Every structure is written in C-alpha cells, then in structure tokens.
Structure 1
C-alpha cells in the first residue's frame, strides 16, 4: 500500500462539526483550510472567522492549544476554491441536506487535486447517493466519514465505502484516521445511520418506550442505564439532552424515512415526550432545557403527564442495584425473573438490544466486532451487546429472547436468525468475529497501522493476551511489574490502585533501572490502563505519620527523591509513556525521565497544593533546573523570569488538560513525543528508547543550578501579599506558595548562586514535612482521603 501523506486538509462547512473537525486536525499539527459560504455583510470570510473565534469558547475545549487555531485558514466558496488543489484530503461537513451536499460537490469537483481523498461527514445519508454527483475521476476516491461529537474527545469514526470506492483509498484513510487523528475506526455498510447510530438510537427509543411501559421517570432510568449498567454515566435521557433533541430527531427521521420495511419500524416512532419538547424548542443542553432543566441549583425533569418540570433525583432501588453487581449470567436471570418493575425494565431493554443486533447484523456490519466496537466507542458502553450476550451464556439468553418474542413481549415479531441457534457459544472467538452476511468468522484488520497497537482494545471472547501478564516477566512486587516484549527494552508497569506511588513503586523503579542498565537498551514506564499515576499514596503514609510524625515521613520522601534521581541519571534512556493523569508524584516520575511519550489526552500537573502540601519528589527542583536551562539558552541571568511560570503552575495546582497544554506549562518538552492514538503509546515509547540508545545517547552530566535566590523570593512574596490581601488566595495557600517560592528560587542565597539538585530536594523535603504538621494541611489531607475532593480552608 502506497503511503497517503496528509499535508493539508480542506474542511467544507464551518458549522459545529466542521469547525471542531478542523480544530482536531490542527491539534495533530495538520493545517486546515476551512470553507463556508461568503458572508452577505462585512468580510466574505466572516462566517468562518466567527466559527474559529467560537472554538475558543466551547467547553470542553475542542483545541488543545489555542495558539494552534492560527493553522486554520479561513476561506469561502466564492473566492478560494483554487486552494483545494493543495489539499490531500477534503472533508465535507455541511448540514445534513442531500440537495445542498450534491450542489456543493458539483462546485468543488473541478478544483480537487487528482490524488485527494474526498469524504462526506454525515450521520446517516446515503454515501452511494452522494457519490452520484461526483465526476467519474473522483468517485473511486470518495467515501463517507462519520465523526462523533465532539470530534476531539469521541474515539469512534465510522468509514463508509460506496460500490465505486477503491479499497486502497479506504485503507489509506483508515490509516490516517487511526494513527494521525488517534481514532478507533469502524467500517460500516451504507445503510441508514450506519452502525453506531442505527443501534444506539434504536436502543434509546426502546429505552424511552419501555420506561413508559413500566412507569419509570427519566431520573430513575438514567440511574439504571448509566454506570450501573456499564454504560456512559449520563444514562439515556441526559445523553439525549447533551446530543440535542433536534439532532436525535434528525437521526430518528432517517430511520423513519428509509426503513419502512424494517421489522422494528413501529419502534422508530417519535416518542410523545420528544415531540412535545421539540414543539417547545426545548432541545436539551444547548437551549437550557430538554428532558432536564436546571433552575438555580435545582435539577428538574420533564413530566409528560403534567406537561411541566418537576424535581428530579430519583434513584434505582437497592435490590436492583445489588442485582446489577452480579456476574452476567446470574444478573440477566435475576432481572428476567424479578417482579420489580425496574428489574423488568432492564431485562426488557437488554432483550430488545440482543434481538435488534442479531436481526440486523448481516445488513449493517461486516461482523459482530463492528457493532460492539461502535457501541463502546460511540456510546461509551463498557461492553457491546454481543459481548454481554456471550458473557451471560449465548444459548440460554437466546432461548429467553425467543420465548419473549413468541410471547409478544418484544418490540418485533421478527424471529432470531438461524445462526443464533447453531450450537455456538458466542460471536467473538480467537479466530475472528462472526459475519452473518458471509457466514464465517472474520479476523481483525491486518493493515500495517495496527502493528503499532501492541495491545489493542480487546473484545470478550477474542482470547487476547492481557498486557499485565504478557511478555517475559523479570520481576514483580505488590505495586510494580517489570517485563519485556522483545528482550531489548524493559517495561515497568505500575499495578497499584490508581497507580499510586508507594514503597513498592519506589523499590520497583530502583530495581528496574539497575536491571535495564545491565541487560536492556532502555526502560519504559508504561501501564496498560489509565492513569499514568495519580500521585503519592497518602493513605499508605498515615500509619507512619501517626506513629512517628513528620520525622517518620522524611526518610520515605528521601527514598522517592533518590529513586527519581536514579531514573534521571540512569545509564540507559528512561521513557515515561504517559496516558491519562500524571499528577503530583506521577508528574515527578515523568519529568525525571530522559524523555516523555504522551497520549494527546494526558493531564499533567503538580497538584499537591490541593491537599495542603507542596511537591516533594523533585517537581520543584525540576522547575528550578528548567528555569536555569532556559535562562542559559537565552543568555540571560534574570533567573526569576524563567521560573515564575513554573512557580505559578505549581502554586495554583494548574493541570495541563492535554499534552499540548502540558507542553506549554513546561511538563513536556519540545522534543517529547505526543501520540494521537492511545493504543500506539507503548510501541512509540519502545521505539524511542531503542533509537536513543542506537544514536549514542548518554545520561546528562550532573551540573550546578543557578537560582534566583532571596531577591526572587522577596519579589514573589510581595505579589502573594497583594493576592492574599485582595482576597484571591487564603492564608494557608499564601503560606504554601511562599514555601514553593523558597524552593524554586533556591532558598536564602544570593541571586545567581549555584546549588545542587540534592540541595533543592532537601528544601522540598523540609517544607513538605513541616506542612504535614500544620493543622490546615491535616484538614485538607483527611478531607481528601474521605471525599476524594480538595478541601478549601
């Protein structure tokens, strides 16, 4: 397969989806030309420039670094179609109107580069019908692409070929979307609403209908169909509000208009509550009211019978809650046999989902894998419907579903397909997933891009090797496992809860460094799940503190500092492969390494202030060192100006909400690697370790650090006094910030004095232990351990 080099992308349509797709492209450093209609008044690019400005205001933010919005070039169809010739990929993302899309294709066709791929972002329109407006030369390079909203955060992207799409084109686009954009690709057939929305919206309609049948309110249904059921925490009705009831209605209408022969067609009727809310322009979160409405601090829910909002807050019954914690087979049996309406409701919606996906599998997807992945990645379910069915006992569940169909309890009289009863135990096996259309098991894609995913997200029944037991193990303790995949690079995986740093992590890292120096090309610190590390295990410190006070904690803090210095000066490259949160001590492990390879959606920061402490594992020493390094590079001796940003980030517990933002904060460096796809993190980190060793990498030499000294401390404290007296920070935060300033400026020494890392770490340790004795800090620590939330005092 020839390489598809995406140097620039054109996005047609600066609406909600188009603008956010453009933002995600520049997140991964792909420049974009964003098109829309010429404005009727003012500058002709006004529609696009307004959309770009609007990206800065959206929450959650679609852009990792607002400065990167400069890589989006505004354009309009009247003046700038010639810019298309320089674009390797054209993504059309205008409104879901077939006539508008076809008209636009006629305009752009003469200007599209002869090698460019053209893709329509649509949630359900026929891709084959859209292709008919394109000249023959473009048809082989045209397909559908369906980003889920918001594009930066939603993992799923569906790709939909037409009969004339060249297979190589789809392979090239899948490779770019997977590795370049960091997405999970599902190939869908060109059927209404494709895979995820077809199954997901049908499931939402089923849930609304069954909630009405069993007389359950929206808040109770959301509690039942959220995390308790292994689905997104927003449940059903809150999810609809977030998506927008108008958007949901549009997807439902696609089902209504195009699936009149579907055996489930009656269940596609617009629910009365949705119709009522649409008439009232209550479209969900974007209009401030939908199934729910917030009034002051109160959350209200819509009551269809009353036609008004009433107080929300209903929860699942305890007995049903207990059932949902049982193993799958027992759980489904208890739900089916229970007399409680909440349990009967849950069995009904699960039965309906099994029934629906079995009947439609041959029509909508190449195999059961695409259905389960689409529901995981597009609707946030822990398992897809086929996975749950298989886990609960395939033949038993199939029998129950058949009995309900025969008894007229199901949404449709359509029988389950014959293949369901052929003696199978499921649809996912080590050899592949079942294709109802081809009547065989289809293996996972063999595209080269998937060789970069050493441990791709596995489905139940595939028999994939769990990363925590994979490879050749060198050693493990209660908190860390050291192992290798290739015999060349050692991997250290933290296994404690939330990957908290306790004595086992410290001892394991020391042993891993020693082993890596003796036998391997490098050491990668990586865990197969999130977070990278949520910091030090404060709870594990309590017994020592209760027995010996801060004096007992000081030696443990020194052990951590010494271990991270050992990581920093190891004789082989040490790579932190960061995914998810790297907070407090997790951040300190990362910055101690020779290099960081970070997933795009990583959250990095020193957050100890939140529990009344300051970073004690070398984080402040790192800020002082980096300040000195930047000052030297700038040939400037005003050391304070180079540490003040780092001081502020630590004193305010600022966390980078993406790898890009973490780089701006200084926790990632310019030569650190940011990886778009979470499943490629380990592959890239191992490659970096090998490349560094093969390039002759050597550990840094220890050197003295020039610091800002007492004059720098005095300047910072003067600013802190103004903040305290102005009511911006409290007395205890003022006290902690003063201690942080003392460390990053090097203590009571003259400006420009040279100090060692060990000296700065001694200051860290001294202030950390002193804060442990402070009553306000003790309140914060105990409050955090009890609630998991910072205490403001």
Structure 2
C-alpha cells in the first residue's frame, strides 16, 4: 500500500462544515486552500474571509490554536483554481445539490493534480452518481469522506467508495484519516444517508412518533432519552435544535425521496409542528428559538397542546427512574416491557423499533454490525450501539419480544425480523472472532490495515472479548493507588504506570505508588510511561484533604504536600526516562505530574491546567517551583537575563485565573509542555507512541537533568509589581479579598518568597515556599468553604 502524503489540501465550500474541515486540517499542520464563490461586492475573497473570521468566534473552538489559522489560505473559484494543481487532497463540501456539485466538478477537473484524491463531504447523495460528474481518469481517486459536525471533536468519518474507486486509494486515505486526523473510519455503503445518519435519523423519527403516541412532552422525552439511556446530554429534541430543524428536515426529505422501498417509508416525514417551526424561522440554536428557547435565564419548551412555550421541567416518573437504575440490562428491559407507565412503554417502543430497523437494514447500510454500532457511538455519541444494547439485554429474549410486537401490530413497520436474527443458538452479533455481516452471512474480523497495529487497546464492542488494560500485561508492582506493568510483546523494558483511583485523583496511595514504582523501575526497567485511559488525572483527592481539614490535621496535610512534591521530583529526576501519555483532563496535581515528566506525548484533546485557585489554593506539587525555574531559564536565553518579570507575568495570569489549555497545542503555548513534545490526533495511539518515545530516550543514553541549584528569583520586587496589579483589580471589584490573597500567594511562590530580588536559591527553597503558602491557605476558612462547595456541587465558589 502506497503511503498518502498530503503536503497541501483544498476544501471547496466555506460554509459551516467546509470551514471547520479546513480548520481541522490546519490543526494537523496541513496547509489548506479554502475556496468559495467570489463575493459580488468588496474583496473577491470576502465570503471565505468572513468564514475564517467566524472560526475564531466558534465555541467549542474548531482551531486547536489561533496560530493555526495562518495555514488556511482564502481563495475563490474565479481567480484561484490553478492553486488546485498543488493539492494532494481536495474535499468538496458545498450544499447538497447534485447539479451544483456537478457544475463545480466540471470547473475544477482541468486544474487537478494527476495524483490528487478528490472526495465529497456529502451527507447522503449517491457517490456513484456524483462520480459521473468527473473525468474517467479522476474517478478511481474519487470517494465520499463524510465528516460529522463539529469535525475537530466528532470521531466519526464515513468513507464511501464508488464502483470505480481504487482500493489502494481507500486504504491509504483510511490510514491517513485514522492517524493524521485522529478519526474513527467506517467504510460505509453507498446508500442514502450512509450508516450513522440513516440509523440516527430513524431513531429521531421513532422518538417523534412515540412522543405523540404516548402523549409526552418534548422536555419529558429529553429527560428520558439523554444520559439515562446512554445518549448525549442533548438527548433528542435539544440535539435537533443544535443540528438545525431545517437541516433535520432536509435529511428526512432525502430519506423520503430516495428510499421508497424502505418498509418504514411512511414515517419518513417531517411532522406538521416541525414544519410550522421552520416556516416561522424558528430553526433551533442558530436562531435562538426552536423546540426550546431561552427567555432570560429560563429555558422554555414548546407545548403543542397549548400552542405556546412553557417552562421546561422534564421530570421522570419515580417508577421509571427506578427501572433505569437497574444495572442488569435484561432486568431493565423486562421491567420496561412489563410496566404500564407511558414513559416506560415509550422507552421500550423506541428501543424496539430501532432494534427492528437495524436488524432489517443491516445488510443495506453497513458491512457488519460492528461498523453500525461504532458509527452510532462516534457519530451520535451513544454509549453503546443498538446491537450492543440488544445483545447485553439478552439477544433471544429481545428478539422474541420484538417479534411478538410485530405480530401484534405494535411496531412502526410490519416487516418480519430477518431469519438470521432468530437462528438457533445465536447469542448476539458480536463475538471474539468477529461481528455479523448480514451481507456476507458470516462473522467479520477487524481491519488488517497496519495503522491499527498502533492501537494497543482499540475501542471495542460488547461481546468482542477484547482485553482491557487493567487486566493485561505483566504486573511488576502494585498498591492500592497504582499499577506498574509492562507489555512483553511490545517492549518488556518499558514499564506502564497506571493510576487506579476514581478519575485518577492523586491521594496518598497514588503518591506512595508513584515513588515506589519509579524506584523499582530505576533498577529493573529502561523507562516508564505514565498512562491510563482518560482522564489523565483531575488533581489531588479533595475528599481526603477535606477530611484532614475537618480533623484539624494540618501537620498531616503538610506531610502529604511534601510527599506530593517528592513524587513530582521523583518523576523529574528518575534515572530512567518518564514519559507522560496525556489524554483528557490533567488538572492541578495531574498537570504538575505532566510538567515534571522527561517528555510528554499528548492527545490533541488534552485539557491541562493548574486550577488550584478555583478552590482557594496555589499549585504546591512543584508547579510554582517549576515555573520559577523555567522563568529563570527563559530569561537566561533572552537579551535581558536579569528581567524575570516578563516571563513570570503570563505564568502568574495562568495560575491566578486557573486557566485551562483546551488543546495539546495550547498546553505547549501555556508552558505546561515543551515545543519538542509530541501531539497525536488519535488518542488510541498514545500508548504505542509513548512506549517508543521512552525506548528512544533510553537507547540514546538518557540521563536526568541536573538539579537546579543557582536559580535567580524576582523576590520582593516581583511580588510588589504583582501586588500593584492585584490592588487595582480588587479596588475595581474584579476580584474578592480572598482572590487577592490566593493570587498574592501565587505571586510569592513564583517570585521565590519574600527575599531580595535577584537572590539565588535552589529547588528545595522554592518547594518549601510553595508548601508553606499552600498550608496557610488550607487553614483559611474561605478556602475551606471553596473546597467544601467544590466537593458538594462540582463548581467553584466565588467568595
């Protein structure tokens, strides 16, 4: 298989999807030419320029860093089509009109490189029909590449071949999308709406149908169809508002027009109430009014009976809530079927009809059941795919119940279940040797593309029997807080240090484990990777801290902080390289551990920060010390080596405001990581890469950095400068008196304590200063109130 190298890409269409696809390509360091029509007035690139300006304002941010915007070049079809000759990948992302796409293909064809892959981001048009709009020599390099919105964050990309698409081209593209852009690729069949939208939109239509049938409110349904059943918080109707009611109606219309033989075709209609909202311009979130709207601070929901909005309540009946708390899926589904409550009957009905639809349509929409389930996880945010849910609840029992409802005329379509569903002995569609393919009438294993060998623990489906990290490898050391283990088949000389605590909080047992594990690694291993599935670590164990405060054990707390600092220093000065493999949140002490590693390998979606100010504290696991040391190093490399303040000020702001980096690139920009650290777009590759990084450091003769002993600090001069800023903020009402105290403590720690500016200290001095300041803040009732509030509500208290 030839490797796909994309030195430059083009995106055709600067709408919502096109602009964000371009942004994600730029995130990956790929220069992009973003095209659109020439503006009729003003600069010809006006449409694209407006789209680029919009990228800076979107939340969540499509750009991993504002600097990435410079990789996107604005262009228009009138002037810049020759630029396509230098592009290795061209993605068309214009409106879903076959005639418009064909016109555009005719324009671009003479300018394409002879080797460029051309792909359409269509969400459901026939790829075979679209291919006919391209010259014959381009058709082998043409396919569908359907991103989900927002492209940076949604894991799914559906790749759709045409009859003439070259197989090697698809393999190369899947490899590139998986590793370079970090996507979960599903090879979709060329059917309307492909896999995820076909099943996902049917699921929404089923919910709408049964909402009316059981007389439920939209807010009531959203309470039932969100996290309680493993779906996103936006549930069903809020999701429709976010997607756009007009967009949803368009996708439904596509199903209506292109699937006349689908047994559920009668349900592929937009309800009258939804048509009325669209006619009124109430399109959902983008117009600030749809099924839901916000009036002041109140969330209101459309009440069809009253033909007006009312306060959204969304309550689940106690009887149904009790059923949803059942942990055994088989018992849960049996209870839903047995209950006479409309909410329970509604839930059974929506699951039943989705199971029915997926079983009947599997052979038409996906190669196998695993692809369908992963598409729903990655594209719609479901915790489990429909077949996984069915299998977990008891395949035969659910199949029997669905068949009985079909016979009773209670299902949305009368078509019987396929024969394969009720084959003797079938316990599901997912097995350790593959997932069921209705098309091939056999079980299909995982892709054999080499890129997937980089995923040591790929995302698995229920019933697949995949190994879990906590039960894998060879255990080398273990206590209540951590496990040190290795994968002999990968590299027996590199240990993997994994935290066992909930959310990977850092308490005494983790600190003891980190110190002991690194000491053992120094004598028996070549390197260590700190890795576990996300989050990396959400900070210190506040519950333990709160208990010690309540008992007045401040001497114990000081010893714990000292141990925390010792653990950080152990990571930094270990005789073997310690590589931090970071994904998700690394907050507070988790961030400090990241900072003290020899090297960091970070997933793009890493959210890292020193957030102690949120609970009235300062970083004291070596975080303030480390920034004081780095400020001295940065200053020494500048034209004014004695001017520390310019290097301390941005760090102080980051700590005082508890700022969190919202991408791995920002982690580097904030100074929590180094420019030489690695950023991966596919989090499933973290462990594979981190082990190799540790091996490379070890093989290169790794030695820890020398202990910093002659560190110039800003001292009282720096503290006074920070104080002037803080006084103005306090007097202006921007911060409270306690905010002032916390921020001043951070300033003192960063400036090396209340000593003369320019004094030289060592690391032990700096960690002693931050530890004492930390413990003093712990004794303050205002900080104690903040800690208590955070534990009770999960939110910071401003006092």
Question: Which one of 552, 558, 582 corresponds to residue 554 of structure 1?
Answer: 558
Which digits, 9 at most, give the CA deviation of each residue in 1:570-617, with x for residues without a partner? 011101111110000000110010111111111100001111111110
* CA deviation after TM superposition for structure 1 residue 273, in Å: 2.1
8 Å Cα contact 2:98/2:125 also seen in 1: yes
Matched, 1:625 2:647: no
Name the structure 2 match of 1:27: 27
Question: Which one of 766, 779, 787 corresponds to residue 781 of structure 1?
Answer: 787
Partner Cα separation in structure 1 for residue 477 and residue 517 of structure 2:
9
Partner Cα separation in structure 1 for residue 7 and residue 319 of structure 2:
57
Matched, 1:385 2:374: no
Question: Which one of 433, 454, 457 corresponds to residue 455 of structure 1?
Answer: 457
8 Å Cα contact 2:546/2:787 also seen in 1: no
Name the structure 1 match of 2:681: 676
Question: Which one of 722, 730, 734 corresponds to residue 728 of structure 1?
Answer: 734
Matched, 1:739 2:740: no
Please list, as runs of the form range in 1=range in 2, the aligned pairs for 1:488-503 lying within 5 A after superposition.
Answer: 488-503=493-508
Question: Which one of 654, 660, 663 corresponds to residue 665 of structure 2?
Answer: 660
Q: Normalising by structure 1, what TM-score?
A: 0.99
* CA deviation after TM superposition for structure 1 residue 61, in Å: 1.1
Which digits, 9 at most, give the CA deviation of each residue in 1:534-561, with x for residues without a partner? 0000211233333343222111110110
* CA deviation after TM superposition for structure 1 residue 304, in Å: 2.1
Partner Cα separation in structure 1 for residue 300 and residue 552 of structure 2:
51
SS for the counterpart of 1:114 is coil
8 Å Cα contact 1:623/1:647 also seen in 2: no
Please list, as runs of the form range in 1=range in 2, the aligned pairs for 1:124-523 lying within 5 A after superposition.
Answer: 124-326=124-326, 327-423=328-424, 424-486=426-488, 487-523=492-528
* CA deviation after TM superposition for structure 1 residue 398, in Å: 0.4
Name the structure 2 match of 1:770: 776
8 Å Cα contact 1:545/1:552 also seen in 2: no
Name the structure 1 match of 2:654: 649
Q: Which moved more, 1:208-217 or 1:474-483?
A: 474-483
Partner Cα separation in structure 2 for residue 216 and residue 585 of structure 1:
46
SS for the counterpart of 1:483 is strand
Which digits, 9 at most, give the CA deviation of each residue in 1:630-686, with x for residues without a partner? 111224220111111111100110100111112111112101111101111111111
Partner Cα separation in structure 1 for residue 357 and residue 480 of structure 2:
45
Partner Cα separation in structure 2 for residue 634 and residue 114 of structure 1:
48
- Runs (4+) off by over 4 Å: none
* CA deviation after TM superposition for structure 1 residue 784, in Å: 1.0
Partner Cα separation in structure 2 for residue 706 and residue 167 of structure 1:
61
Name the structure 1 match of 2:712: 706
Number of residue pairs the alignment of both structures matches: 792
Partner Cα separation in structure 2 for residue 93 and residue 144 of structure 1:
11
Matched, 1:58 2:58: yes
* CA deviation after TM superposition for structure 1 residue 749, in Å: 2.3
Partner Cα separation in structure 1 for residue 470 and residue 274 of structure 2:
46
Name the structure 1 match of 2:531: 526
Partner Cα separation in structure 2 for residue 87 and residue 61 of structure 1:
26
Partner Cα separation in structure 2 for residue 345 and residue 283 of structure 1:
26
8 Å Cα contact 1:639/1:752 also seen in 2: no
SS for the counterpart of 1:743 is helix
SS for the counterpart of 1:145 is strand
Please list, as runs of the form range in 1=range in 2, the aligned pairs for 1:542-581 lying within 5 A after superposition.
Answer: 542-581=546-585
SS for the counterpart of 2:484 is strand
Which digits, 9 at most, give the CA deviation of each residue in 1:664-709, with x for residues without a partner? 1111210111110111111111111011111222110112221111
* CA deviation after TM superposition for structure 1 residue 338, in Å: 0.7
* CA deviation after TM superposition for structure 1 residue 390, in Å: 0.7
8 Å Cα contact 2:222/2:314 also seen in 1: no
SS for the counterpart of 1:282 is coil
SS for the counterpart of 1:309 is strand
Partner Cα separation in structure 1 for residue 735 and residue 545 of structure 2:
28
Which digits, 9 at most, give the CA deviation of each residue in 1:514-553, with x for residues without a partner? 122112221111112x210000002112333333432221
SS for the counterpart of 1:713 is helix
Matched, 1:755 2:755: no
Partner Cα separation in structure 1 for residue 314 and residue 656 of structure 2:
40
8 Å Cα contact 2:354/2:386 also seen in 1: yes
SS for the counterpart of 1:488 is strand
Name the structure 2 match of 1:91: 91
Partner Cα separation in structure 1 for residue 639 and residue 53 of structure 2:
37
Partner Cα separation in structure 2 for residue 178 and residue 752 of structure 1:
51
Question: Which one of 676, 696, 699 corresponds to residue 691 of structure 1?
Answer: 696
Partner Cα separation in structure 1 for residue 416 and residue 742 of structure 2:
68
Partner Cα separation in structure 2 for residue 757 and residue 56 of structure 1:
40
8 Å Cα contact 1:549/1:773 also seen in 2: no
Matched, 1:109 2:109: yes
Which digits, 9 at most, give the CA deviation of each residue in 1:378-414, with x for residues without a partner? 1111100000111111111101000000100001011
8 Å Cα contact 2:180/2:681 also seen in 1: yes
Name the structure 1 match of 2:603: 599
SS for the counterpart of 2:41 is coil
Partner Cα separation in structure 2 for residue 787 and residue 57 of structure 1:
30
8 Å Cα contact 1:550/1:770 also seen in 2: no
Gapped regions of structure 2 (runs ≥ 5) = none
* CA deviation after TM superposition for structure 1 residue 280, in Å: 1.2
Give me the CA root mean square deviation. Answer: 1.0
Partner Cα separation in structure 1 for residue 552 and residue 278 of structure 2:
64
Name the structure 1 match of 2:616: 612
SS for the counterpart of 1:262 is coil
* CA deviation after TM superposition for structure 1 residue 751, in Å: 2.4
8 Å Cα contact 1:512/1:523 also seen in 2: no
SS for the counterpart of 2:400 is helix
Partner Cα separation in structure 2 for residue 475 and residue 343 of structure 1:
48
Partner Cα separation in structure 2 for residue 363 and residue 63 of structure 1:
36
Partner Cα separation in structure 2 for residue 503 and residue 66 of structure 1:
39
Which digits, 9 at most, give the CA deviation of each residue in 1:746-791, with x for residues without a partner? 1122322221111111011101110111111111111111111111
